[in-house]
Amino acid sequence: MPSYVVAGASRGLGLEFVKQLLAKGNLVLALARNPDKSTGLQELKGEKNLHILKADITKPDELRAAVAETGKITGGSLDVLINNAAYMTFENTFNAIDEYESDAALAKSFNDHWDTNVLGVVYTTNAFIPLLAKGQLKKVLNLSTGLADPAANLDLEFDQNVAYSVSKCALEMVNVKYAAKYRKEGWTFLAISPGVVNTAEEARTSSPLPQPDRTTVSHTSTAPDWAIPGLQAMAAKFQKYAPTWTGPITATESVGKMLSVFDKAGPELSGKFVSHHGNREWL
């Protein structure tokens, strides 16, 4: 059976990846910063093809330990790595790039996002490359966001989510750099945006407003309040950008669409950045 590592598997999209991959009969190794605190993972603990590993993607030593444990479980190989873990906070979310309260606040925001969304992905990918090299599929999925697309930001006149957008834009180049090296060897590196997904554990299911598309947030646990003006304005921009858009999709639908795109992708698409639709339509 194919083997998968899902980084950032404690909740949201990461947990849904685990569920859907298990349902297809795959061997799944779920990485989480604090797996004991993940209700979702603990509920799945009895699944015979699931192995839960503790690893913070910003800590190379923990990743190396997870790689060693993965190798013992899989016999020294890995077919697929899914880099889902990411950092996004609602602190300074609604500031434009010149509206941070101080230089220190700006630097902290950029560094916090960079450490997880860029360096964390590089640390994780580099750590697992030796196992992937011995796998059959040699595929890596990097979770991104439509907010990383410069053209979409201009069309949306979207001047918020600055550090998050910039870090995820950098992630596209990370994806390209890996593809540039490994595509000729038959590897596939694909960056995919999940769309606008309601992933908050405490999300109000009756709200017509979306949660910004995101991967599992590794350091933020508070669900957003869509009544606040900033999120109302964000939703209005989404609706103006795509008039036929009807609101957020569920994590189940998003992951199903992403896996459909990813499963069909081969080395010819390595280095590309697409949406859950398989194109550049982000909503």
The pLDDT, as a whole number, for residue 228 is 60
Pairing of strands 50-54, 139-143: unpaired
Are 39 and 56 in contact by the 8 Å Cβ rule? The answer is: no
**3 state SS of 7:** strand
Q: Taking the domains of the chain in order of start, what are their residue ranges?
A: 3-197+219-275
77 CB-contact burial (10 Å; exposed 0-12 / middle 13-18 / buried 19+): middle
- CA dist 196 and 215 (Å) reads 10
> pLDDT by residue (tens digit) across 110-158?
999 999 999 999 999 999 999 999 999 999 999 999 999 999 999 999 9
> pLDDT by residue (tens digit) across 72-87?
999 999 999 999 999 9
Local structure of residue 224 (DSSP, 8 states): P
Q: DSSP letters of 49-68? A: TEEEEE--TT-HHHHHHHHH
The pTM of this model reads: 0.90
Q: Name the β-bridge partners of 82.
A: 6, 141
Among left, alpha and beta (phi > 0; psi -120 to 50; other), residue 8 is left
The verdict on domain 3-197+219-275 having CATH code 3.40.50.261 is no
Catalytic residue numbers, as ranges: 164, 168
Q: Compute the mean pLDDT over every residue in the chain, rounded to the nearest whole number.
A: 89
> Can you say whether the dihedral through the CA atoms of 178, 184, 186, 190 is positive or negative?
positive
> pLDDT by residue (tens digit) across 225-263?
445 666 677 778 888 888 988 888 999 999 999 999 999
- CA dist 258 and 12 (Å) reads 14
Local structure of residue 185 (DSSP, 8 states): G
